[in-house]
A and B are shown apart, each in its own frame.
Chain A
């Protein structure tokens, strides 16, 4: 049995409502998390079979963020996966988002626990889905959160989810030296 076939046979089941659609070096994925549908993308490097993967939570919580581009350039050999965190990007709410992420707003304190619970569920779903992707190495999955992404991922990152590395950086504008330092901590 080839290495790839062995890896496929060990592939884990998809989470509820999970879908993986591979298109070249990109995989679109989607799954249900506490009744909400998550949509994410994984971008694999041009070379290498079953690369290690990094789930990236961006500084403003949206998948469409420049940091994803910079991470792809800096973490060569790794796949980078992104999705919109709760109330960010395509999940943004004109009514709620600004208030929920403003620590001075009264609503922020009231909804903090629910926000953390939804984010933890989202990240659990996303990691399960990435581990089920036969194109990735499930044993070498890491989590990197930056800015708001780090704040939202803090609770999930603090627990043991069998991730190869967890890096949370509250500074919303990390420089290239930081990206290189993270690359050194990621599993080869």
Chain B
């Protein structure tokens, strides 16, 4: 009789719902073949003190790099040494004006995904200098707005949208809810933000796939490790980041 090890019987000790959740996390996802067409160009408004946003921008670039082979993050300010080194991602950071950031983005090859990290107050100038891809051919595809999963986070995002609204005409804006305890909470917060942005500022906001609160993800970031360092794709937040990276692909013209 074949001997059994702990792995053969472990499932007896794990609740059914945790097992199905784990299966869902590791199951192959639809449409995971290499994407074709131009790579996404996304602006993520974040100030240097929002280390979490900066770290998550790098991790999102890691998900894009996994799809496309490489990715670039261009930051308009020096970034913290605590930020993780993400496989396949080249980070170029340094104090520079929006015009220089726009030039750097324009120089990125069209097949390479690129994320721009810019201070919120400078985003309008960046958008003016690096207009949407539809208009300029090599412009930005979207503004990805990170939102803390709390009423205060939604209020902060709305304040930012109020400042940015005049510059956002025709720009695809995606709200990225980070840190919600459940998918339902993330959806509700995203929809609340979208409704308020439409009502208060006349902006149409898309709700991007959320990143739920995950202590393992935070611990990895506190250690300065990338979520993509373990390459089995089942790490904390990896699946959600892949879903987000797919949703950011440029849209074909109608």
Contacts and interface: CB of A to CB of B under 8 A. Distances in A.
Given A25-B223, A43-B222, A70 B215 contact: no
A43 B82 CA distance: 12
Contact of A26 (B81, B152, B214, B223): B223
Contacts, number: 49
A82 B215 CA distance: 11
Given A64-B214, A90-B215, A69 B55 contact: yes
Interface in B190-244: 213-215, 217-219, 221-223
B247 interface: no
Contacts of A64: 179, 213-215, 217-219
Interface residues of B, number: 21
A63 B82 contact: no
A37 B159 CA distance: 40
A70 B51 contact: yes
B223 A24 contact: yes
Given A73-B80, A73-B82, A89-B215, A66 B223 contact: no
B49 A176 contact: yes
Interface in A29-69: 41, 43, 60, 62-66, 68-69
Contacts of A72: 82, 222
Interface in A67-99: 68-70, 72-73, 80, 89-90, 92
A160 interface: no
B51 A43 contact: no
B165 interface: no
Contacts of B214: 64
Contacts of A43: 222-223
Interface of B: 49-52, 55, 80-82, 150, 152, 179, 181, 213-215, 217-219, 221-223
Interface of A: 24-26, 41, 43, 60, 62-66, 68-70, 72-73, 80, 89-90, 92, 172-173, 175-176
30 contacts: A24-B223, A25-B223, A41-B219, A41-B222, A43-B222, A60-B150, A63-B215, A64-B179, A64-B213, A64-B214, A64-B219, A65-B218, A66-B50, A66-B52, A68-B218, A68-B222, A69-B55, A69-B221, A69-B222, A72-B82, A72-B222, A73-B51, A73-B80, A73-B81, A73-B82, A80-B222, A89-B215, A92-B181, A173-B152, A175-B49
